[in-house]
Amino acid sequence: MTTAGERPAHLGERVPGQAVMEELLAGPGHLRPRTVLQRIFGASPLSPEGLPWYRGALGEIAVGRLLQRLGPEWLVLHAVPVGTGASDIDHVLVGPAGVFTLNTKNHEGQPVWVAGRTLMVAGQKTRHLYNSAHEASRASKLLTTAAGFPVEVTGVVVVVGPKSLTIKARPEQAAVVTDAQLLRWLHRCPDVLDQQEVARISAAAARPGTWHRRPAHPGDPAALQHTFTRLHQLENQARRRRAAWLLGIPAVGFMMLANGAGMGAALFQALAGR
């Protein structure tokens, strides 16, 4: 329910990775203060607990950029709050080819292996397929209720930047594609909805009340993006400085000999804080 003068929320206002960025920036212990010396030597502004949230946001942002290239016949929603808690669906798509929930996973540089009900990342089993299937089933029930007719939803695991993707056997619970394959895969899906069906499902999907019992105010996505962009710049800067110091290790050794062990200890302590 909105108050007088308040504009009703629309899920189309949310930005890629919004829920993850909010958690990263507001969650306790995800960011850490750095001393001047740590900044000089490239210590990361992210804590080990914050790093997975940061990578997750980067993955959703990357997929969000790709989805901008879908035509106007598609509705694209990002970070859709669902249920009664803090859960969200990374991306929801509604178009002639159907309705899709995208579960984005940033596994940059890692091998991914899929067969049946199993998806492994670097040899470790994950719950990606199960979670994606659960999201799709949940979305189907909610959209069916809101639209007033049966709505089928396909769950998709989108793997961002993997070293490789090996499909040993067709996944049984959800589709699996890389970010590089996503748009081509969507365009190859046959049309299953007419314009009227797309319009009705899109109208239902864009309403926050379809997904969440107590929809929260959308906040200020532009300010959130600005803050995250600044954090991204600081992390990239820290990474470049670490690389520069590591390349200059021989010179560091000379400095340690010339200036005493105190400076060397401070340096390695700062680098350990990455």
Which secondary structure element, helix H or strand E, spans residue 250, and what is its range? Answer: helix 249-259
Q: Give the whole-angstrom CA distance, residue 17 versus residue 57.
A: 5
Q: Give the whole-angstrom CA distance, residue 33 versus residue 153.
A: 43
Distances (CA, A) of 241 to 122, 225, 237, 245, 270: 28, 24, 6, 6, 11
pTM, entire model: 0.85
Beta-bridge mates of residue 100: 93, 154
pLDDT tens-place string over residues 178-233: 999 999 999 999 999 999 999 999 999 999 999 988 777 767 899 999 999 999 99
pLDDT tens-place string over residues 105-153: 999 999 999 999 999 999 999 999 999 999 999 999 999 999 999 999 9
Q: Give the whole-angstrom CA distance, residue 19 versus residue 81.
A: 8
Q: Residue 75 has which token pair? A: 């509705």
Average pLDDT over the chain, rounded to an integer = 88
Q: Where are the domains of the chain?
A: 11-37+45-212, 226-272
Distances (CA, A) of 262 to 41, 213, 253, 259, 267: 15, 58, 12, 8, 9
Query: What is the reported pLDDT for 70?
Result: 95
pLDDT above 90: residue 74: yes
